Structure 1
């Protein structure tokens, strides 16, 4: 029974995040179905995936749901079980739906809450890779949830926020004083604002920001979106964010932007609040070791020291566990 519950939970998390069909534990499901003529397991999986309240409200793409249900039906039909009406009725309903170029992906949090994102279905869309969630963002969000004390009641600046997964997870679990999402691509910023609203947050107005500065503290986390170009942002603008902690995920992927990234990190390291620089954490999926090594070399040249944060073992979100992902803690050598 415990194994079945764990299998259902795995299908739930993987489906709601719209991970590739190859990510599902089909072999385990088939084995369970062959060992029992009881259809309750299939019904439970159906309720925790396509019929899940999150899927009804914020569904993955129609194509994805069709492919998933087709595979579920194949596994059911490979056994000697009687046809399952609910399964075929659900499939028929999805077949009648029209598809879209956008889809929802939902990530379940330990609290029972969730982060739901509207994403592009293409890896590169509108000339940017920022309209989908990358694995280092999930890894960094897991680490942040496990270290919520670092973010509670603090001002957080995120570089290259993309469509918002890491920041929304932190805001829903760690209660920072203020969270500043940032990016520079107009389509990414537009989608980011939509996802913030989709998750029940309102962006802070300039008037509210002024009142917060003049009469701290105000209740709740203040959220802001900043159009931040690494090549043109000044030290004064970075100082105005009043960030206690700076994070970034999957920003080390292109050798052409590494110098710009290191320059902005150097400006951040030079900003002092109460005599201290902000804490900085950068998560990266190491796809190309040469590019990653170039980033570390440029950090050293800029006088920014770094150390690898020990990997965490509690996996909350579905992603490729074989991926090489690291979080670097950055600090200036004289700190």
Structure 2
């Protein structure tokens, strides 16, 4: 092989390694399912190079990264992640003391019901969220980030002009991923996070503050209790939203009925842009939501344009984003 060809091959391999390391970092801090990590690439790398350099680099980008010290994923997740790295190392590369030191640290750490998930933004910056380890906790699903919230955040990053200079209301904000992304990247004039569960509201306030968003700044940010069954037109007029968004709020037939009643009140007060993003887990429930919209005279348009993949989540999930139209 000519020298130039060898250089090109080395360069391509370096670029590929950097891409893989980035995937490991993004997936680690978002606590993605371990089978989704590109372990096969690491196995292939170790077959051709018996040094522990690639595992050392993965450690630097994950467990030994400053972000992990400040906002660590759960103890159990880090322990399982390090165990997978040790399996690879045991397959034939040089022993790496740092790997076992990191494992010893998490083995001795106390488990908690809460952990941090961090999401890396394009162009730099990170959103870190305190979440509950359990999917359902304290009687609510609002203490974790769901897939539709990630998709809607990606859509917002592609359509920043839909939020720039506008007053935005988010319904059912949960732990805050979508709203914080909009506030950090899309330059809204103001943003109201909302929910009705006391534990969710407290976690939401903590996460908003954790990510440097404060009242009386730009954008002006508020966290409000908004009960869909008792919200008044006066309250909605006071919020005065130009854009209304919601993600993963259509998961129960009774909740869908309350949501449509609230949307009817919102449309009776003003003419905002309304975007609802849903993971379709139960097609019957989702069809029922659309039927309720139709009965209320609220039209909808399915948004089908692709979005750039920014955050790690299951791309095979059925996720639909709709834009609502004010009743005639």
TM-score bracket for the superposition, by shorter chain length: over 0.9
> Does the Cα contact within 8 Å between 2:52 and 2:95 map onto a contact in 1?
no
Distance (whole Å) between structure 2 residues aligned to residue 198 and residue 220 of structure 1: 16
* Equivalent residue in structure 2 for 1:237, among 231, 235, 238: 235
SS of structure 2 residue aligned to 1:223: strand
| Cα distance in 2 for residues equivalent to 1:93 and 1:53 | 15
Q: Give, in whole Å, the separation in 2 of the partners of 1:303 and 1:332.
A: 8
Which of 313, 325, 328 is equivalent to 1:331? 325
- Does 2:248 align with 1:250? yes
Q: How does 1:1-335 map to 2 (within 5 A)?
A: 1-78=14-91, 80-202=92-214, 204=215, 220-272=218-270, 277-334=271-328
2:158·2:307 contact (CA, 8 Å) conserved in 1?
no
Greater shift after overlay, 26-35 or 161-170? 26-35
Question: SS of 2:312's equivalent?
Answer: coil
What is the alpha-carbon distance in structure 1 between the residues aligned to residue 254 and residue 218 of structure 2? Answer: 39
Q: Give the root-mean-square deviation of aligned CA atoms.
A: 1.1
- Please state how far the C-alpha of 1:286 moved relative to its aligned partner: 0.7
Output the CA distance in 1 between the equivalents of 2:318 and 2:32.
18
Aligned with 2:169: secondary structure?
strand
- 1:215 is matched with which residue? none
Deviation at 1:312, TM superposition (A): 2.1
TM value normalised by structure 2: 0.94
In the TM superposition, residue 107 of structure 1 has moved relative to its aligned partner by 0.3
Which secondary structure does the structure 2 equivalent of 1:201 belong to? coil
- In the alignment of these two chains, the number of paired residues is 315
Aligned to 2:5: none
CA distance in 2 between partners of 1:114 and 1:305 (Å): 36
Contact 2:296–2:327 (Cα < 8 Å) also in 1: no
Gaps of 5+ in 1: 209-218
- TM superposition outliers: structure 1 runs of 4+ over 3 Å: none
TM superposition shift of 1:12: 0.5
Instruction: Provide closer, same or farther for how the CA distance between residues 231 and 333 of structure 1 changes in structure 2, counting only shifts above 3 A.
Output: closer
Deviation at 1:333, TM superposition (A): 4.2
Distance in 1 (CA, whole Å) between partners of 2:307 and 2:240 is 32
Taking structure 1 as the reference length, the TM-score comes to 0.92
Secondary structure at 2:157 match in 1: helix
Unaligned runs of 5+ in 2: 1-13
Q: 1:221-263: per-residue Cα shift (whole Å, max 9, x none)?
A: 1100110000000122111111000000000111121110000
